[in-house]
Structure 1
Amino acid sequence: MKYSVLGPTGIRVSKVCLGSATFGVAPSSQDADGVVGAALDLGINFFDTADVYGSTPTFDRPGFPPASQRESAEEILGRALAGRRDEVVLATKSGERRFDPDAGLSRRYVIQQVEQSLRRLRTDHIDVYYGHFPDPHTPLDQTLAVYDDLIRQGKIRYAALSNHPAWQMTEALWIADDRRLVSGPVAAQVMYSLLDRNAEKELAAACTRFGLSIVPYAPLHGGILADLSVLDREIAGGKRFGGPGYSEAEIAVARELDRLAREWGLGMQQVSLAWLLSRPAVASVIVGAETPGEVRANASAADIELTAEQLDAVSALTADLAS
């Protein structure tokens, strides 16, 4: 496993981060220990979760208990990391409003959620704490002030922002400097893949300029950039967790990527992740895994270094998405 320094923190994180959005469903609560253990054994030291992961209807699947009866991903991950907490950089989030109209990034809500996350994760601190989505009802300076208080209390180590546009990331840095906060946001978590390159329009340049890291989620675009059999499952009505259908253009890109990967003697997921890790400001990519085998397959991408010609060939597949 190879490592990157996360933004201005000085801490080294594995270039592949294990996400836990579907913990409790895939893998099941019983199988999560094996998935987390495999990640640790492979040198993955970066783990990502959120207060709403695992126990919301988004991740319902036939044959599994409904959301209201499932453990949260934080509970499952906290148990799986028992005895090895100090080996990892643990990130979680709060502020998604989809399932809770009271959610957001207010002082009251953030403090409440940090306390609950600490309990569920069985830890006394969170290494990286993200504001999950922008909150139109709470001024950004108030959110950064509560993060600053929590840092000073030792409950979180660093603050970060997820799904925030470049202008808000820049504003957050200005606020942190103006108010002399301990730290501004150190990273931006955002959807980013070969088939979704919106981050390259403004966010990547801002993060590069100010020394922040990008931590992409959905780097395999629902699995289509990992394995073309995902298309077969979709045709059969077995889309993973209600993900979006794929356009003809996306399918065409995936098929050409598969051809290139085979020509180079690599797997699609290796090429997809290696390409993304080569992009400016990207420190680590968040991947999900249902089995230890999937962890191993994704982790191998950190050791792949594509040539300049190979990177250009992959970039050319979706050059229009970066403009």
Structure 2
Amino acid sequence: MRYSVLGPSGMRVSKVCLGTATFGVAPTAEDADGVVGSALELGVNFFDTANVYGSTPTFDRPGAPPASQRESAEEILGRALEGHRDAVVLATKCGERRFDPDAGLSRRYIVGQVEQSLRRLRTDRIDVYYAHFPDPDTPLEQTLAVYDDLIRQGKLRHVALSNYPAWQVTEALWIADDRRLVSTPVAAQVKYSLLDRSPETELSAACTRFGVSLVPYAPLHGGLLASLSVLERQTAGDARFGGPGFAPHEIAVARQVERLAREWGLALHQVSLAWLLSRPAVASVIVGAETAEEVRANASAADVDLTTEQLDALSALAADPPV
């Protein structure tokens, strides 16, 4: 496993981060220990979760226990990491309103959610705490101020932003500097892959300029850049969360990537992740592995070095990032 420094935090994080959005469904709570254990054995030290992951209806699948009967992803991850807490960088989030109309990034909500996440994760501190989505009802100054208070209390180590546009990331950095806050945002989490290059329009440049790390989620685009066999599954891509399936042009590009990977003696998922890890400001990619075998396969990508010619060939397949 290879490692990167996460923004200005000084923390070394594995280039592959284990995401837990579907913990409790795939893997089940019973199988999650094996998935987390495999990640630790392979040198993965970066784990990503959120206060709404796993136990909400969006993650329902045929044959899985209903949301009301599932533990949250935070509870499952906290139990799986017992005995390893000091060896890992643990990230979680709050602020997604799809499941809780009272959610947001106000002082009242953040303080309550941090306490609940600490309990569920069985820890006394959170290494990276993301604002999950922008909150138009709460001034960014208030959100950053409460984060600063929680850092001073020792409950948070660093703060970060998820799904924020470049201008708001820049504004957050300006506020933190102007008010001399303890910690400026160290990372920006965003959906980013060879098939979704929208962060390259502005966010990537802003993060590179200001030393903020990009941490992409969905780096394999719902599994399409892992294996074309995913097309046979009903839960492929955003369909896992009630969204659309894959577009024809996405499937066409994935087939071309697979062809190149085969020519180079590599797997589709390896070249897809290695390309993303080569992009400016990208420190680590979040993979939603559902089995120990998938963890091992994805972790192998961190050791793949693509040539400049190979990287250019992959970039040319989807040369125009959508606005």
State the TM-score bracket (shorter-chain normalisation).
Answer: over 0.9
**CA-to-partner distance for each residue in 1:168-205, whole Å, 9 max, x for gaps?**
00000100011110011110000000111110000000
**CA-to-partner distance for each residue in 1:131-173, whole Å, 9 max, x for gaps?**
0000000000000000000000000000000000000000001
Gap runs ≥5 in structure 2: none
Structure 2 counterpart of 1:130: 130
**Which secondary structure does the structure 2 equivalent of 1:30 belong to?**
helix
User: Counterpart amino acid of 1:49?
Assistant: T
Structure 2 counterpart of 1:8: 8
User: Counterpart amino acid of 1:66?
Assistant: P
Structure 2 counterpart of 1:209: 209
* Structure 1 Cα separation of the partners of residues 93 and 268 of structure 2: 30
Structure 2 counterpart of 1:296: 296
* Structure 1 Cα separation of the partners of residues 236 and 297 of structure 2: 25
Is 1:227 matched with 2:227?
yes
The answer on whether the counterparts of 1:61 and 1:241 sit within 8 Å (CA) in structure 2 is no
Gap runs ≥5 in structure 1: none
TM-score, normalization: structure 2? 0.98
User: Counterpart amino acid of 1:316?
Assistant: A
**CA-to-partner distance for each residue in 1:96-126, whole Å, 9 max, x for gaps?**
0001110000000000000000000000000
* Structure 1 Cα separation of the partners of residues 197 and 174 of structure 2: 26
* Structure 2 Cα separation of the partners of residues 235 and 137 of structure 1: 34
* Structure 1 Cα separation of the partners of residues 235 and 65 of structure 2: 25
TM-score, normalization: structure 1? 0.98
Identity %: 80
The answer on whether the counterparts of 1:233 and 1:239 sit within 8 Å (CA) in structure 2 is no
Structure 2 counterpart of 1:35: 35
Deviation, 1:232, is 2.2
Structure 1 counterpart of 2:103: 103
* Structure 1 Cα separation of the partners of residues 13 and 195 of structure 2: 25
Deviation, 1:38, is 0.1
- Closer, same or farther: CA 310–284 of 1 in aligned 2, 3 Å: same
Deviation, 1:241, is 4.5
Greater than 3 Å deviation, 4+ residue runs: 234-243
Equivalent positions of 1:129-148 (< 5 A) are 129-148=129-148
Deviation, 1:240, is 3.8
User: Counterpart amino acid of 2:210?
Assistant: F
Range with bigger deviation, 313-322 or 187-196 = 313-322
CA RMSD of aligned residues (A): 1.5
* Structure 2 Cα separation of the partners of residues 46 and 309 of structure 1: 30
**Which secondary structure does the structure 2 equivalent of 1:229 belong to?**
helix
Deviation, 1:26, is 0.2
